[in-house]
Amino acid sequence: MPTFVYMSHCDGCGHCVDVCPSDIMHIDTTYRRAFNIEPNMCWECYSCVKACPQNAIDVRGYADFAPLGHSVRVRREEEKGTVSWKIKFRNGEEKNFVSPIRTTKWGSIKSPAEYDRPEASRFRSQELAHEPDLLNIDGGLPVLDPKRLKPGAV
Amino acid sequence: MGLFKRRKTIQVACDILVVGGGMAGCGAVYEARYWGRDLKVVCVEKANIERSGAVAQGLYAINCYMGMQWGENQPEDFVRYASNDLMGLVREDLAYDIGRHVDSTVHMFEDWGLPMMRDPKTGRYQREGKWQIMIHGESYKPIVAEAARKAATEVYNRIMVTHLLVDKRDRNRAAGAVGFNVRTGDFYVFRARAVIVAAGGASHIFKPRSVGEGMGRTWYAPWSSASAYGLPIQIGTKMTQMENRIVLTRFKDGYGPVGAYFLHLKTYTQNAYGEEYESRWYEDTKKLVGDYVDRHPVPTCLRNHALLKELAHGGGPIRMVTTEAFQDPHKETVGWENFLGMTIGQAVVWASQNIDPKHTNPELTTSEPYVMGSHATCSGAWASGPEDYAPGEYRWGYNRMTTTSGLFGAGDASGGTPHKFSSGSFTEGRIAAKAAVNYINDAGEEPLVDETEIGRLKAEIFEPLENYAIGRNEIVAGTVSPSYILPLHALQRLEKLMDEYCGGITVNYMTNEPLLNRGLELMEMLKDDARHIGAEDLHQLQRTWEFRHRLLASESVMQHTLFRKETRWPGYYYRGDHMTLDDDNWHCFTLSRYDAETDTWSMEKAPVYHIVD
């Protein structure tokens, strides 16, 4: 299902252009609206569909193997913290699914710079940021006895 | 930008440069900031880190989690599992390192807001299998990107990095990278004291099963353009296990994942006649690999092998039996959400073909080969091991430093460590970044960049635009020119060549020495033609450089496949002239080094160390 854009919905805002991982959503210079310039490099990841404020982007299954008459629509709502899907089969059957997308507020992650500076002695240890605490185990970071590494087939 | 308009050069000086803002890159940025409070940490990404890399579309599971807090697995168990799955050839020192750190990464993701599923009885993370936990991961990448943006000094989106820079005085030391902005066409020069390559592995180096509009529906993302390999290979960094390509058994056409289906939903496969077929090929497989076939779980390549044998025997199509499990509404929901969370295209295929797995058992197929270092194979740069236990032969510098001083690898770029997946790749980025901070703190003089070299690279990078602008005038219209080929032409020639000579789908994954040698001859001509690619615009210029990285990675795959004279992983590929596994001669890693000056490859073996009780 490479993506396509409905002429009557798109207002040319460019959110899809900004987010597309494959760089295939571009603005048509005549119509000032977005379109998929390279459908055969589309992964059907729906990043542009989810990002479109006008719900102007949809997908039509790849012509190689997908018969017409289906649709898989999505609405991603950051404030509600959900993503909702509606699947419509070629034969008209429908299925709906809703999943959570995040449990915390958007923007709430702390920069690592907001934590206390690591002590000088920790730089040469094998521990990474927030370790060993964040491992939730007793005894600290696991260590391998170097003598147990032996060359050859087993 | 027009050809003759003045092109700006943007200079960026930093301490740590992270190339690629996927999972490994975001992990590197986070950790670099934690340890390097006063360092300038820059992340450069060809797309937008909000949705870039293999996790752009989301994930429904985290496939690498020990669960040490509940005594579920220990790092050693993980090492044995990964080594077993790859027929004994894994850098066990690096894998152990992933295992001991990965849980803290996953706990961090949960703190950040990633919705984890929990087992209602135990309260622990819901297991999909022994190593996998289930998540609602639609926003996995946006969440991780938020952390990376907070940690980075600067994130540069839409910059395609084309080359790494080396120190003028010591050409075996990294000094930065160059590339161009795919929107403005500006030339970017990044000078750095340490560079972490966290770019993507290789899709589209072998001809995909769909070659029309659906060619983008590869299993691995089409934007994973082998920069993880193309960048370090160019400057002579040693690579390992590049022959260890992966072939995936997946739902047909959409390449929807089967992990949750096998492990959680307990669906199973059968042939066209409703028969179990894997045991039928047990003796055949044993003749090829001996006792490896008896190991548990059965290595993935060997399960592929049984499926391929069954298909060749006329038992196709192979189907996943879903009709039993999907009668349970909870399992049906999991089955669908699994796709919607990470491979939406499979839901589209099923909707379009009226395949409701409650009533129809869907077909499975084997994919075209991919080359990568984060999923279930381990191609990548040969990296130095952890300081506290890695054997001397694996330790020449800082953890995850490649054979190029100051150049680190993580995720797909770091070789020998399979089964990292998303969480392990992020973890490896963290490991590499902490080591890079120590490297910077220890290093004396800053690397010095050769200005002449930068000028030469700038001309080379933008040459495809000139090729097109000049050659285009020769012809009336259309895509056929005697002077240039388009990036897609070049890509499709590469895919066909790799497919036919290096063991792709149309030859049932079979190759041999004469085929590889002929393939290399044809590749030489493709390398010449690669300098005559015409790019109509900046987007096509990006495609050109993605192709160039894929080409270099492919040549490396050819050389490694030629070097290893055995069939180590039947089901991934076959050396027809050496059809059996040969532990006497090939229980080793293959290493390569490319010399750009002479355009030659040198190959060597390196020992495998196992953790022995």
Cβ contact B101–A95 (<8 Å): no
Instruction: Give the total number of structural domains in chain A.
Output: 1
Instruction: Give the total number of structural domains in chain B.
Output: 3
Tell me, what's the pLDDT at B3?
52
Name the residue range of residue B24's domain.
15-236+371-442
Report the pLDDT averaged over residues B90-118. 98
Based on the domain organization, do B457 and B384 belong to the same domain? no
CA distance B99 to B413: 18
Based on the domain organization, do B33 and B104 belong to the same domain? yes
Based on the domain organization, do B537 and B577 belong to the same domain? yes
Among A66, A95, A103, the residue with its CB nearest the CB of B348 is A66
- Cβ–Cβ under 8 Å, residues B512 and B577: yes
CA distances to B80, B112, B417 from B612, in Å: 10, 38, 18
Residue B609 lies in a domain: no
Based on the domain organization, do B359 and B255 belong to the same domain? yes
Q: Calculate the average pLDDT of chain A.
A: 97
Based on the domain organization, do B36 and B118 belong to the same domain? yes
Q: Per-residue pLDDT for B2 more than 70? A: no
Residue B605 lies in a domain: no
> Which residue, among A78, A126, A141, would best test binding to B if mutated, counting the most B CBs under 10 Å from its CB?
A126
Residue A122 lies in a domain: no
Residues of A in contact with B158 (CB under 8 A): 23
Residue B197 lies in a domain: yes
pLDDT for A68-121, tens place per residue? 999 999 999 999 999 999 999 999 999 999 999 999 999 999 999 999 999 999
Cβ contact A126–B612 (<8 Å): no
Q: Which amino acid is at B185?
A: G
Residue A126 lies in a domain: no
Residues of B in contact with A126 (CB under 8 A): 386-388
Edge-to-edge strands of the sheet including A82-88?
A: A71-77, A82-88, A94-100
Cβ contact A40–B389 (<8 Å): no
Q: Per-residue pLDDT for B323 more than 70? A: yes
Which pLDDT band holds residue B5 (cuts at 50, 70, 90)?
low
Residue A27 lies in a domain: yes
How many CB atoms lie under 10 A from the CB of residue A133? 11
Based on the domain organization, do B82 and B215 belong to the same domain? yes
**Number of A:B CB contacts under 8 A?**
295
Report the pLDDT averaged over residues B358-384. 98
Among candidate residues B389, B424, B442, the one where a domain is terminated: B442
- Cβ–Cβ under 8 Å, residues B256 and B314: no
Cβ contact A41–B113 (<8 Å): no
CA distance B74 to B106: 15
- Cβ–Cβ under 8 Å, residues B554 and B498: yes
Distance from CA of A113 to the nearest CA of B (A): 6
Tell me, what's the pLDDT at B6?
77
pLDDT for B550-601, tens place per residue? 999 999 999 999 999 999 999 999 999 999 999 999 999 999 999 999 999 9
Q: How wide is the angle at C-alpha A146 spanned by C-alphas B581 and B100, nearest 5°?
A: 85
Residue B516 lies in a domain: yes
The CATH number of whichever domain residue B149 belongs to comes to 3.50.50.60
Residue B242 lies in a domain: no
Residues of A in contact with B35 (CB under 8 A): 118, 123, 129
Which residue is it, tokens 């507020």? A105
Active site residues of A: 43
Cβ contact A149–B146 (<8 Å): no
One-character DSSP codes across B307-338: HHHHHHTT-PPPEEE-TTGGGSHHHHHHHHHH
Report the pLDDT averaged over residues B352-374. 97
Q: Per-residue pLDDT for B83 more than 90? A: yes
Structure tokens that stand for A122 in this block: 């920790």
Residue A106 lies in a domain: no
Residue B295 lies in a domain: yes
Q: Calculate the average pLDDT of chain B.
A: 97
Distance from CA of A51 to the nearest CA of B (A): 10
Among A71, A99, A115, the residue with its CB nearest the CB of B337 is A99
The CATH number of whichever domain residue B530 belongs to comes to 1.20.58.100
Tell me, what's the pLDDT at B373?
98
Based on the domain organization, do B492 and B420 belong to the same domain? no
CA distance B562 to B558: 6
Residue A146 lies in a domain: no
Residues of A in contact with B608 (CB under 8 A): 151-153
Among candidate residues B419, B442, B465, the one where a domain is terminated: B442
Residue A11 lies in a domain: yes
Residue A90 lies in a domain: no
Based on the domain organization, do B183 and B301 belong to the same domain? no
Name the residue range of residue A53's domain.
1-64
Among candidate residues B393, B414, B442, the one where a domain is terminated: B442
Residue B613 lies in a domain: no
Cβ contact B217–A62 (<8 Å): yes
The CATH number of whichever domain residue B269 belongs to comes to 3.90.700.10
Task: Answer left, alpha or beta for residue B385, where phi above 0 means left and psi between -120 and 50 means alpha.
Answer: beta
Among B33, B214, B607, the residue with its CB nearest the CB of A113 is B33
Q: Per-residue pLDDT for B100 more than 60? A: yes
Distance from CA of B146 to the nearest CA of A (A): 7
Residues contacting residue A5 through CB under 8 Å, at least 6 positions apart? A16, A33, A34, A35, A36, A56, A57, A58
Residues of A in contact with B217 (CB under 8 A): 43-44, 62
Residues contacting residue B205 through CB under 8 Å, at least 6 positions apart? B226, B369, B370, B371, B494, B495, B498, B550, B553, B554, B557
Residue A75 lies in a domain: no
Based on the domain organization, do B256 and B285 belong to the same domain? yes
The residue in chain A having the minimum alpha-carbon distance to the alpha carbon of residue B429 is A128
pLDDT for B406-434, tens place per residue? 999 999 999 999 999 999 999 999 999 99
> Which residue, among B84, B253, B349, would best test binding to A if mutated, counting the most A CBs under 10 Å from its CB?
B349
Based on the domain organization, do B400 and B431 belong to the same domain? yes
- By C-alpha distance, which of B48, B231, B66 is closest to B156? B48
Based on the domain organization, do B90 and B54 belong to the same domain? yes
Cβ contact B351–A151 (<8 Å): no
How many CB atoms lie under 10 A from the CB of residue B448? 14
CA distance A126 to A148: 19
Share of chain A above pLDDT 90, in %: 97
Residue B594 lies in a domain: no
Tell me, what's the pLDDT at B612?
87
pLDDT for B470-484, tens place per residue? 999 999 999 999 999
Cβ contact B37–A113 (<8 Å): yes
Tell me, what's the pLDDT at B613?
80
Based on the domain organization, do B375 and B263 belong to the same domain? no
